[in-house]
Amino acid sequence: MDVVEGVQERDAANLRWAADRNRLLPGERPQTVYSEDAEHWVRVYTDLLTFNLEMMDVIERRLAAQPVAGDGPEHSDRDLLHAHVRRLRWRLSFWQRRHAQLNPRPLVAGGPPPATPAVP
């Protein structure tokens, strides 16, 4: 296996890991019966998603200003971040649904961040 194949395999494995919806954060228990737990995870994933969307916006703006070929080494990093954001959105949605199952009262604070352009 040559270096390029090794890098491509590593990038593919990292992309699968970043996109894995079943990958949980430490202490995250999807089977919880407590609405307070679900509310906590809604806040956690909202904060993580907001931060990552802001970071992605900065990266996209900087890349747009660079005279770099469209398929440079930064491309795999951007793909990795996009996969991670999709995973965070999915986990946030999961916890919002879980909270609604456990407690029908709407969440007051810590709702999802404002709508953003779709991530490929």
Check: CB of residue 104 under 8 Å from CB of residue 36. Answer: no
What confidence score (pLDDT) does residue 119 get?
Answer: 53
What confidence score (pLDDT) does residue 58 get?
Answer: 92
What confidence score (pLDDT) does residue 1 get?
Answer: 62
Tell me, yes or no, whether 22 lies in a domain: no
Tell me, yes or no, whether 59 lies in a domain: yes
What confidence score (pLDDT) does residue 73 get?
Answer: 65
Q: How far apart are CA 15 and CA 66, in angstroms?
A: 24
Domain residues for the domain of 53 are 34-67+75-109
Tell me, yes or no, whether 82 lies in a domain: yes
Per-residue model confidence as pLDDT tens for the chain (120 residues): 688 888 889 888 999 999 999 999 999 999 999 999 999 999 999 999 999 999 999 988 988 888 765 566 667 788 999 999 999 999 999 999 999 999 877 776 555 444 444 555
Tell me, yes or no, whether 11 lies in a domain: no
DSSP 8-class letter at 70: T
Tell me, yes or no, whether 1 lies in a domain: no
CA 64 to chain centre: 22
Q: How far apart are CA 49 and CA 78, in angstroms?
A: 15
- Global pTM value: 0.79
Tell me, yes or no, whether 29 lies in a domain: no
CB within 8 Å of 14: residues ≥ 6 apart? 76, 80
Check: CB of residue 42 under 8 Å from CB of residue 89. Answer: no
Q: Which helix (H) or strand (E) holds 65?
A: helix 35-65
Tell me, yes or no, whether 46 lies in a domain: yes
If we measure between CA atoms, which residue out of 87, 88, 86, 60 comes closest to residue 74? 60
Check: CB of residue 52 under 8 Å from CB of residue 85. Answer: yes
Tell me how many domains the chain contains. 1
Tell me, yes or no, whether 12 lies in a domain: no
